[in-house]
A = this chain, B = another copy of it.
């Protein structure tokens, strides 16, 4: 019991009190319920791996998105992390496939192009004759740097390279927007009529 409480306490957002509460809950719970949780955790570590094509987390390789022939396999959305892929999937607005970089370039932290799946992306674009690469790295300095590096590697392959639009977030008020949002929104303004 004490060992479980200690283990639970190391999880993010779980303090000593919550750890105790969870442990007592599991103690009272039906055996099947507790065993199902234990199995889910062990399956996560033994069965989950990265798709060898897009590097998304998956139980089968290639992953469900890569093998879905209703999706546009010629359009690749490049994201930093699997959680970014989940965000974009949740919009329901994207019908292409993905490539997960597994991070962003950060010379200061020692993250070089070889540490990411950038080489795999370039090889994949050439081999699969991809029509469009959508760079959906984070709108941060590191994300922008990573996008720039990929753009330079892909130039000359004939693939169309696009970047997520940057501007004011839908539903917000201009008076609360910061300068860089407004400057982006002005410089990227789109033709209406």
Contact = CB atoms under 8 A, between A and B. Distances in A.
Contacts of A171: 139-140, 178, 180
Given A169-B168, A186-B88, A163 B180 contact: no
A185 interface: yes
Contacts of A87: 174-175, 177, 182
A71 to B, nearest CB: 14
Interface residues of A, number: 56
Nearest to A181: B169
A170 B181 contact: yes
A154 to B, nearest CB: 7
A46 interface: no
6 contacts: A147-B192, A164-B186, A165-B166, A165-B189, A167-B184, A169-B181
Interface of A: 79-81, 83-84, 86-88, 90-94, 134-136, 138-140, 147, 151, 154-155, 160-175, 177-193
